[in-house]
Chains A and B, each alone.
Chain A
Amino acid sequence: MEGILRGEEISAVIPFDYGQRILFFPVRHHSPACSFHLKKAIESYAPQCILVEGPENANGLIPVFVNKDTKAPFAVYYSYKDSLGLVGEEKEEYKCYYPFLDCSPELVALRTAEALKIPAAFIDLPYSEILIHTSDGHGMLKKEEKNNYNDDYLLSRSRYLTMLCEKTGLRDFDEFWEKYFEIGGLYKTTEEFVRQMLVYCCLSRENSPKEELEAEGCLVREQYMSERILKAAQKYERVLVVTGGFHTQGLYERTAAAQKEDPLPLHKLDEKDQGIYPMAYSMEAADALNGYASGMQAPGFYHSVWRLCTEREVSAGSVRGAYEEAVLELLVATGKKVRRKNGSLSSYDEIIALSMAKGLAALRDKREPGLYELKDSVLSAFVKGECNASTGEPLAFLQEAVTGDTVGQLCAGAQVPPLVQDFERQCRTFGLKIHTALEQETVLEIFASDRHRRMSEFFYQMQFLDTGFAKKVRGPDLLTKKDRSLIRETWKYKWSSQVVVVLIDRSVSGGVLPEACMNLLGRRMEEAQGLEEAAGLLVSCFLMGLEDRTGRLMDKVAQLVTQDGDFFSLVYGFGHLNTLLELEDLYKETGHLKLETMTRDVFRKIVQLLPAMAAIKDEQQTDCMKACTALYQTAGRKSFRSEQGILIAAFEQLLEDPQIHPGLEGTVLGLLYGYDASWQKQVEHVFSGYIRGTREKLMEAAKFLRGLFYTARDLVLVGDSFVKMTDELLKLLDTEEFMAMLPELRMAFGYFTPMETDRIAAKAAGLHGSTGKDLMKGPEIPPALYEYGERLDRWAASKLKEQGYAG
């Protein structure tokens, strides 16, 4: 390997000579060794200008990147909306990130230029142009990965590399890279290091087909970058060019030939379609393990290495030993975490682990232990017993440590979109922790504290914008009407770069969160197909505390009330409106929505449609039962009393339909009985009709009972007649029919409380000459039967598992 990389002849291909007008410095993104030698090269070359690979239209952001208050990791976020269909017919939206860590050579180049007071600039095509020049499915248009501007993958995919790894007995490209470039690189002079880089990059390039480079837009980008380099070289005597190593050869050949090419024409694109923003980033997001095929893994580890290199250089004048120290630091950090968790790891384990890491490095001919030796040593010395999910905790802790949890920060005055600023301002106001990548939890007393109610609104706004920032884990849910009795909300929230990205995307909708939410609400409301969806949006609006801005929205809701002819959509919508009406007082948000008139309109419309709903399907029974009950409850409210008459008329009209579903019939009869107890006779009459009817009708009696008990279960408790009739019904059934009816019966009797069930059982027992207590005694069940039952259970469970219903 050393032979191949010695690079004696590479100087003839691409010279690395400080006397040149243009000096090319090849790098790999996030590489501490590249950064280290780049700094050395800058010292020796003393450039007058530094050009860095990166989309040119981000040049305006350089002052932000080099500001001392800006803390890495941060990223440039590029977005492009293909309105003109230049990338593809689908006219999609594209976005990508360009992350920077302290150890990124590009950032080191920019910061050093700032320190030396020399100009620095990005020289690549704008993001939109790169996309336009990339063939579908290649380069940045690959669908399967998170899009990253950096193209280090070009260095790690060639056939040449596969052979190198095989020959050197290393696991993969990353281990190869670490051994020869990162660790080995620190033991080389800058000239040797660059020569080795150039040999490797040239061989990688030679083994990549030209067609592929064309399809990925590499060649067009190199043409553009060469133009920029030549232009700078006319102005400055020493130009340093810092680009991904893969491009160095292409750039060198183009600039050395200084061939006169027509300048690459750029498309005229609308500024609105192109977004470039700086954003705080996290180590976690920068880790290659989190989806970036081309990033470096373990940014936390390499950040430590870079920090130690910088410290050692100052204190000892040499960076040697930085890797070993970084390994030790992380071993100790992991050991500490393991001890805190289960206390079974000693310092001696850490000593053994370090000696393992050093031993492995020696065995593998590495100058110092690196990431792979660190992982191996933790596996060997910290994991006790068979390595599996329960014993593998140290490995998980190590993974966290090598990934790192640092979150970056942008300086004041960075061109952060106002929406992101508003988000940060709100977080500060509410004291929310956003400078950590760890998940936080907070409990809000939404009814007792005004501040908590405002926080809840903020969380709902972030949720509505799909930022992924907050999720409610407990608390009342007004949309599904679950847990409405709860008085606290528990939220979990976590900052991530994704949150910022979504906020940047949403920036077009508004400068502050309420405005962005309202605009999005407006759009969704425009697209809403029925009252259910529209009223659901109103509930969201209410939860976000935006009900005082609903003027336009209410027009649309009113329009849908008139247009929507779907009974169930109206019913669900009515449910939402009702919820809002009921809760306005409780949430101290009275009167903003002016819901009463609208709810009354919906009520009337549903009542109007109700008689036509007689012949519903079985699966609609529950919804219909709920709808009728909701109407009944609403009509019971003081302000709706005047509507009772039309509701009763609609119920009566419904009952006249001979095709009425038995469940609905029971429900409606129960509700009418609620208005007027004299309906009892009619109820009994209908029920006995089912019993005495044809066999088919008899089998529907349970559905009738289910509907009836849902709305008027006291009927059974006030007298004996119902129990007697039910008894009569059961007597008429043979076993098979009884078994067929049993599920419906269970549901029907499920509405009773246990005490009520006891009373009914006692009455039923009385009819057969025994008491309720007698029912509690049963014949002894032989153990064999239990055993059989258990076997049956197991068999059924295994069959269910086979069919994929496990758990």
Chain B
Amino acid sequence: MEEIKQIKPPVEVRCGKELKALAACDTGRRPENWKLSPKAVRTFILGSREPLVYEGEEIHIEKKYLGNDALVERCIVTLAGNRGLMLVGEPGTAKTMLSELLSAAISGTSTNTIQGTAGTTEDMIKYTWNYALLLAKGPVREALVPSPLYIGMDRGIITRFEEITRTPAEIQDSLISVLSDKVLNVPELGDEGLLFARPGFNVIGTANTRDKGVNEMSSALKRRFNFETVMPVRDVALEKQIIISEVSQLAADSHIDMPVDEDVAELLASTYHELREGISSYGHRIDTPAAVMSTAEAVSVYYQTMMTAYYYGDSAMDVGCLVQNLTGAVRKETKDDLEKVKSYFNTVIRDKGSREGGIWKEYYEARKYLR
């Protein structure tokens, strides 16, 4: 098997076998240009108990999105319909991952993406020109540099628009006609300048409620999307499971041969959960930090600690190092956040340490690194 050399290969590469197996075994009706039927897309994202047999091999379809199954189903149905899909929610709630999974399963590619920033212009959304060719040959199709949106329409695949609300509202609005009429006009090409979207084309937007929110999005554009709010994980056990599976994946990709310590994952899951929800499992009321306390952040704190242990330590998770990384993760917005985490350690973790001992006690003793 060819070794994957990318830091983070796209979903369709990572899960290529699963997609192939699903396509081969898929007997459901497919919307035009979809690589899989809606049911198979659901199975790809939410997993299946029974393995599929593909080319004599048993392929297990893992559950890739842990959370709200009904939300995934609504997303799939939306994408098969006439409206775009807008995923909104707190940072780190796996919106991007979900949109990648959906695109890979539906269109076979998750890389047809516009990254929204404050500097995104209409050209980047629609099309631009290869000026050398434009000067040489005039406005011909060959000289046109298509954007991901153009490609999506042309090929009948999903276009992902990341962080759409970071883009100025008037630029966002250039999507309106594309989404309602499914046509893009390139006036420079004259009579041949109309690009009609092929079936299978749709847009998945993601928007972060922390950054700018969707309030500034025009209602005309809002009307062209179905919105799905992705909530943070509410269940500590599930959050722990996500940390373990994500970290295992990251470690495997980076060839770090070190098992995931479940106790540490639980420690982190519980810390992030309690700081986010403002209440501990013992009922303490806690001040919630302004910093993003997402599961993705918890994964990153774990992974950082793991790498330190693997390359500079004895391949065992060090709770002190974990607390240092936690400090780095929460000290992003204001200094007050650190104080809140300190008081969390001095109340909740102190009590857990004295009641449950073990790693919790160690965790409490590592509070000296919170500075």
Contacts and interface: CB of A to CB of B under 8 A. Distances in A.
Contact of B42 (A352, A363, A376, A381): A363
Nearest to B49: A167
Contacts of A360: 73-74, 77
A380 B227 contact: yes
A169 interface: yes
A352 B214 contact: no
A529 interface: no
A363 B77 contact: yes
Given A169-B69, A356-B77, A363-B73, A384 B222 contact: yes
B228 A380 contact: yes
B213 A376 contact: no
A376 B89 CA distance: 18
Given A352-B82, A380-B226, A386 B213 contact: yes
B92 interface: no
A566 to B, nearest CB: 42
B227 A376 contact: no
A167 B81 CA distance: 29
Given A352-B81, A386-B214, A359 B227 contact: no
Interface string B132-149: 000000000000000000
B298 interface: no
Contacts of B39: 363
Contact of A385 (B38, B77, B82, B215): B215
A379 B76 CA distance: 14
Nearest to A390: B215
A355 B81 contact: yes
A171 B70 contact: yes
B334 to A, nearest CB: 14
B26 to A, nearest CB: 14
B223 interface: yes
Interface in A342-375: 344, 346, 349, 352, 355-356, 359-360, 362-364, 372
B88 A352 contact: no
A443 interface: no
Q: Which of A349, A356, A388 has the most CB of B within 10 A?
A: A356
A380 B85 CA distance: 9
A interface majority secondary structure = helix
A615 interface: no
Interface in B305-328: none
Contacts, number: 71
Contact of A384 (B74, B81, B227): B227
Contacts of B214: 385-386
A380 B78 contact: yes
A740 interface: no
Contacts of B228: 380
A229 to B, nearest CB: 43
A344 B80 CA distance: 24
A363 B69 CA distance: 12
B27 interface: no
B229 A387 contact: yes
A259 B50 CA distance: 48
Contacts of A359: 38, 76-77, 80-81
A372 B68 CA distance: 14
A710 B38 CA distance: 80
A385 B217 CA distance: 9
Given A363-B39, A376-B73, A386-B214, A352 B229 contact: no
Interface string A153-182: 000000000000001010100000000000
Nearest to A166: B49
Nearest to A351: B82
Contacts of A387: 227, 229
B352 interface: no
Nearest to A171: B70
B331 interface: no
A383 interface: yes
B6 interface: no
A408 to B, nearest CB: 34
B98 to A, nearest CB: 14
Contacts of A167: 49
Given A346-B223, A363-B38, 11 more contacts: A169-B69, A355-B81, A359-B77, A360-B77, A362-B38, A380-B74, A380-B77, A384-B227, A385-B214, A386-B213, A386-B229
Interface of B: 38-39, 42, 46, 49, 69-70, 73-74, 76-78, 80-83, 88-89, 209, 213-215, 217, 219, 222-223, 226-229
Interface of A: 167, 169, 171, 344, 346, 349, 352, 355-356, 359-360, 362-364, 372, 376, 379-381, 383-388
